[in-house]
Amino acid sequence: MNYRHAFHAGNFADVMKHVCLVALLRGLSRKDSAWCFLDTHAGAGDYDLGAPPSQKTGEYRHGIGRLWQATGPLPDALTDYLNVIRPLLGNDGTLRRYPGSPLIAAAVARPQDRLIACELNPLEFATLGEACRGHGPITVQQMDGYQALKAYLPPRERRGLVLIDPPYEQPGELPRLPRELLAAHKRFATGVYALWYPLKDEGPIAGLKRQLKDAGLRRILQVELRLTPLVQGGMLHGCGVLVINPPWGFAQQMATAMPALAAILAPGSGQGRVDWLVPE
């Protein structure tokens, strides 16, 4: 387990994923009844953009750095995301930190909602525990995110979002995903699931989508952001989030937000795309 999210925090993929995250939780919050957020691969929770990992790659400058400086009116989902993360970026309004998914979800949560953040790497887990302190009712667990699906689903609230955001560093990760997702869906069929995936070599991702489709799952939305339409051998040129059971209105929100985000992050070449892999 060599992956450290600190090298990538706030990059285009984080921004895209977290725009989806905020909009999904807002969708669940339309009803007063409580929701549960399960973050299977939570990361370190909070990242110092001035620290060597961020400074070494500079990836955040092409992600949150660009959106932060964008001028002119933005689609509602982008404005909402920026409003949620603004208090978490550093106390002088400049880009000094970037929040991870548990802190972003905690910022959207209402008193009745519940959050569970799982992280397997002991060092990342230690930082996660520190980062979550004082951010509301987040239970942090050092455990395998796929075990967490078995342990925590269905949640007692019977409403919720499961974010599955693996690092894709192990060869067996991608083949494992459809199996784990289908098993989770059996336990909690009405849950909302968001699975982040990289767009490098698109063949294996197409295989994953085919397996979910062939398994008979309904209501699968794909939200994708490409910086460049060209597939460059092995380079991360885009990413996507597969959303099962998206809340009402989410597809339309993303259909407006993703092309706008693509135009800001990659002027001239960026593309945002939202469509149903399997409709209602």
Ligand X SMILES: C[S@@+](CC[C@H](N)C(=O)[O-])C[C@H]1O[C@@H](n2cnc3c(N)ncnc32)[C@H](O)[C@@H]1O
Of 78 and 85, which CB lies nearer to ligand X in the complex structure? Answer: 85
The single residue listed with the structure tokens 């450290």 is 4
Helix (H, G, I), strand (E, B) or coil at 8: coil
Map the footprint of ligand X across residues 103-162, applying CB under 6 A. 118-121, 124, 144-145
59/271 Cα distance (integer angstroms)? 19
Of 53 and 213, which CB lies nearer to ligand X in the complex structure? Answer: 53
Task: Judge whether 114 and 155 are in contact, CB under 8 Å.
Answer: yes
Q: Please, what is the minimum distance in Å from the beta carbon of residue 167 to ligand X? A: 4
Question: For ligand X, which residue has the nearest CB?
Answer: 100
Residue 261: alpha-carbon gap to chain centroid: 15
Map the footprint of ligand X across residues 32-61, applying CB under 6 A. 41-43
The mark string for 13-32 relative to ligand X (x by CB under 6 A, - otherwise) is -x--x---------------
165 binds ligand X (CB under 6 A): yes
Annotated binding site: 18, 41, 101, 119, 144-145, 165
Task: Judge whether 146 and 172 are in contact, CB under 8 Å.
Answer: no
**39 counts as catalytic:** no
Among 11, 54, 101, 253, binds ligand X (CB under 6 A): 101
Annotated binding site for S-adenosyl-L-methionine: 18, 41, 101, 119, 144-145, 165
Q: Which window, 52-60, 151-159, 164-172, 208-216, contacts ligand X (CB under 6 A)?
A: 164-172
243/274 Cα distance (integer angstroms)? 11
209 binds ligand X (CB under 6 A): no
Which of 46, 113, 165, 275 is catalytic? The answer is 165
Q: Which window, 72-80, 165-173, 215-223, 260-268, contacts ligand X (CB under 6 A)?
A: 165-173
DSSP string computed for 13-40: HHHHHHHHHHHHHHHHTTSSS--EEEES
- Within 10 A of 214 (CB to CB), how many other CB atoms are there? 10
Task: At 34, give phi and psi (nearest 5°).
Answer: -65, 150
Of 41 and 209, which CB lies nearer to ligand X in the complex structure? Answer: 41
DSSP string computed for 143-185: S-HHHHHHHH-S-TTS-EEEEE-----STTHHHHHHHHHHHHH
Contacts with ligand X by CB under 6 A lie at: 1, 3, 5, 14, 17, 41-43, 100-101, 118-121, 124, 144-145, 165-167
Active site positions, annotated: 165
